[in-house]
DNA sequence: AGCCAACTTGAGGATGTCTTAACCGACAAG
DNA sequence: CTTGTCGGTTAAGACATCCTCAAGTTGGCT
């Protein structure tokens, strides 16, 4: 694994580099996103560790810059802010995972392994089409039968998550992780409620149902 | 996959159980290592998830107890302590893998899959085809002659279990273990009832029978 | 043929899960 | 300050599922 670290704090950076070296992974460090983009262009990296707080450019903007430039290397976002929204915003902007500071080394390594396992070719399509439904992740729009769906941000994330796994069942646990950033079960009908809301906008007005409920497991879209 | 969970915290335990069930794996929960050892002796498990911190016995001691008793089931150790030394000690004592809490479910499942792969040649294919029947475990669908079968969760599990042992006779005891997670005999026609329901959906509408009854033993699918 | 055990099948009710509507607080815009 | 949107919670009701029981039916053996 070759990993690019974008982090202005020297101390944190060396801490991470040490951990990676112990694991036998190569790392390259740079302090600014601009530098990072250059390096991403030249060497091929398996993953980027990106700090959310940077002096000259915000981590989120940096991420958008990368994605805009056609860089599809997986990004693990670091942030001092532990808030949930923050996490969601990060994932929304195209980060593949998220780690709050301070973190345990083992946790960092685990996340990296997990990202690495997915493989480099996990191309995230900007536009996903299922039946007569067309989802544009860049324009942030969903259209079915030529009719624009007025979805709330959360509903959109939910739909995207389903669509990215079209033909597969997406478990409730998975949705909680990917859409809400939860690693626990809120013990409420959170997912179901929002799935219902999504359906009233996505399925109700069109007769045929795109979303299928898989009892005891989760939901799926675009299968059979 | 059959998985034994040894975890005193009920909440964590149910969380894990949910995730496993969604994945289509059977799990048995117990709160103490002693109980666990008993269960390990009776039912055959593919993996053990063992908490590092337990009230009456330390996880490491438990692990040594198991290994001492000749149990060679792979063990995934959970721990709240993220330190490196801890990890080393855990792996030293004979754990096959190690996961710090809190963990992402996807991470847990990935580790389990990885552990499962090492074991004796498992058939965990995503798609199984038998004659004109096609079972997709990822999409959670079963199709015969192009017609989608509307199966309940239990019926689906039952079918998968049969299909994974296609050509072999699956005993009732085996089904009770793999599908229901029972380690005892309920003395009712539990298995037969559901086999019947499965047949009305799988065989009745198609004339030819895929499921064969083996009197006094169990059932089999896809044999001759 | 006749018997017995094993298997099949249908009905019923308890249980659990999913759907949906209603409510409430947080937040941003006017 | 008011208004509207968003998102989380709760609860009621609809619905599916699954277990048990009990009455057929089948198959193998003498």
Buried b (16+ CB within 10 A) or exposed e, B106-141: bbbbbbbeebbeeeeeeeeeeebebeebebbbebbb
For residue range B71-110, list pLDDT tens digits in order: 888 888 887 654 444 555 555 566 777 777 777 777 788 7
Per-residue pLDDT averaged across B19-39, rounded? Answer: 86
Asked whether the beta carbons of residue A104 and residue B87 sit closer than 8 angstroms, the reply is: no
The pLDDT of residue B128 is 93
pLDDT of residue A128: 92
* C strand bases under 7 Å from protein CB: 6-11, 17-22
- Check A107 against B18: CB less than 8 A apart: no
Q: What is the pLDDT, as a whole number, of residue A84?
A: 47
Q: What is the mean pLDDT of chain B?
A: 84
B150 CB-near residues (< 8 Å, 6+ apart): B201
Q: Report residues of chain A scoring pLDDT below 50.
A: 82-84, 121
Nearest CA to A13 out of A24, A27, A25 is that of: A27
Q: In what order do the strands lie in the sheet with B127-130?
A: B127-130, B133-136, B141-144, B147-148
Which structure tokens are listed for A209?
């149902």
Q: Which residues of chain B have a CB within 8 Å of the CB of A104?
A: 82-83, 100
**Residue B54 CB coordination number (10 Å):** 19
CA–CA dist B199, B157 (Å, integer): 14
CA of B14, C1' of C16: distance in angstroms? 15
Kindly report, residue by residue over B102-140, the tens digit of the pLDDT: 777 777 887 787 676 655 545 567 899 999 999 999 999
B192 touches strand C (CB under 7 A): yes
Q: Where are the alpha helices (DSSP H) in chain B?
A: 10-23, 33-42, 59-68, 84-92, 105-118, 153-164, 172-175, 190-202
Residue in chain B nearest A221 by alpha carbon? B139
d(CA B139, CA B157): 13
Please give the backbone phi and psi of residue B133, each rounded to the nearest 5 degrees, phi first. Answer: -90, 135
Q: For residue B159, what pLDDT band results from cuts at 50, 70 and 90?
A: very high
pLDDT at position B45 over 50: yes
Q: How far apart are CA B182 and CA B173, in angstroms?
A: 9
pTM for the model: 0.68
B75-79 and B47-51 strand pairing: parallel
Per-residue model confidence (pLDDT) at position B84: 47
Q: CB contacts < 8 Å between A and B, how many?
A: 76
Residue of B nearest to A97 (CA): B104
Distances (CA, A) of B205 to A56, A206, B31, B84: 67, 31, 46, 59
Strand, helix or coil for residue A132 = coil
SS3 A150: coil
Q: How many CB atoms sit inside 10 A of residue A191's CB? A: 23
Encode pLDDT of A171-192 as tens digits: 999 999 889 888 888 899 999 9
């Amino acid at each position: 694994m070759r990993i690019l670290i974008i982090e202005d704090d020297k101390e944190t950076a060396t801490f991470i580099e040490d951990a990676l070296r112990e694991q036998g992974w190569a790392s390259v460090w740079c302090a600014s996103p601009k530098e990072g983009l250059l390096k991403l262009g030249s060497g091929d990296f398996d993953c980027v560790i990106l700090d959310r707080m940077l002096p000259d450019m915000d981590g989120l903007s940096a991420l958008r810059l990368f994605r805009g430039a056609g860089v599809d290397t997986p990004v693990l976002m670091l942030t001092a802010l532990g808030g949930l929204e923050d996490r969601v915003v990060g994932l929304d902007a195209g980060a593949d995972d998220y780690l709050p500071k301070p973190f345990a080394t083992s946790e960092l390594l685990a996340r990296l392994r997990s990202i690495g396992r997915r493989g480099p070719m996990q191309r995230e399509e900007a536009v996903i089409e299922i039946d007569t439904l067309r989802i544009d992740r860049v324009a942030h729009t969903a259209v079915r039968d030529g009719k624009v769906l007025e979805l709330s941000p959360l509903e959109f994330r939910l739909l995207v998550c389903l669509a990215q796994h079209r033909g597969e069942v997406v478990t409730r646990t998975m949705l909680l992780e990917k859409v809400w950033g939860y690693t626990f079960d809120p013990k409420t009908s959170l997912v179901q409620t929002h799935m219902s809301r999504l359906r009233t906008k996505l399925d109700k007005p069109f007769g045929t149902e795109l979303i299928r409920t898989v009892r005891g497991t989760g939901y799926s879209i675009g299968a059979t």
